[in-house]
Amino acid sequence: MDQTVSSYLPLFLEGEVIKGFGRGSKDLGCPTANYPLDVVKKLPSEFKPGVYYGWAQLDSGPMYKMVANIGYCPYYQNKEMSVETHIIHAFEKDFYGSNLRIAIVGYLRGEMNFDSLNELIETIKQDIVNAGKSLENPESQKLKSNIFFGKP
C-alpha cells in the first residue's frame, strides 16, 4: 500500500446518515450513505482523496462490506470534501438518521473524471468487486471484529 495511506489506515469514523447531494445515486444502482461535515472534518490533513474499502455497521446491526468514495467527485466538481459509503448489501428501505460506523481498511484508486456517467457507473461496479475480494484477506477480516464496532 501507498506509504502516506498506510500511515493513517485503518481509520474509524462514526456519525449520522444524512441526506446527500440527491443526485439519484440510488437510481444508478449505487446508493451512498453520506456523513455530515463534522465527520468529514475528522479526516487527517494528509488524507488522500480516493476510493477505499472497509467494513460498515448500522446502529448495532450486522457487519457489512463497504466501498467508500472520499473526496471531491471530479465528475461533479464538488467544493467540499465528502465521505460517501456504499454498503455492499441490498436493503429493503432507507436508513437516514441511523448511526453509521465504518472502518476504512484499504485504498483502491484515486478519484477520476469520466466522459460519461456510464463509465463512472461501470468503474464503480468494478470497485465493488475489488473491494469484496480485498476484504476476504485475513488482515482485513480481523478488523471486522474490532472493539470499535458494537456487538450485533
Q: Which residues of the chain form contacts with ligand RBF (CB under 6 A)?
A: 21, 23, 25, 28, 30, 32, 51, 67, 69, 73-76, 84, 86, 111-112, 120, 124, 127
Q: Look at the block and give the residue holding cell 472520499.
A: 70
Annotation says 84 is catalytic: yes
Cβ contacts of residue 56 below 8 Å, gap of 6+? 63, 64, 65, 66, 85, 87, 100, 101, 102
- Assess 20 for contact with Mg ion (CB under 5 A): yes
- Assess 32 for contact with Mg ion (CB under 5 A): yes
99-109 vs 50-58, strand pairing mode:
antiparallel
Considering only residues 107 to 146 of the shown chain, the ones binding ligand ADP according to CB under 6 A are none
Q: Which range, of 71-79, 85-93, 117-125, 137-145, touches ligand ADP by CB under 6 A?
A: 85-93
Residue choice 17, 83, 124, 135 for contact with ligand ADP (CB under 6 A): 17
Residues belonging to the chain: 152
Q: Please work out the total of residues on this chain that contact ligand ADP, with binding judged by CB under 6 A.
A: 20
- Residue 91 or 114 having the CB closest to ligand ADP: 91
Residue choice 2, 4, 6, 21 for contact with ligand ADP (CB under 6 A): 21
Closest CA to 10 of 151, 122, 141: 141
**Nearest distance from residue 31's CB to Mg ion, in Å?**
6
Looking at this protein, which amino acid is placed at residue 25? S
Which of 40-67 are b and which e, b meaning 16 or more Cβ less than 10 Å from the residue's Cβ?
Answer: beebeeebbbbbbbbbbbbeebebbbbb
Catalytic residues: 84
Binding site for Mg ion (CB under 5 A): 20, 25, 32, 34
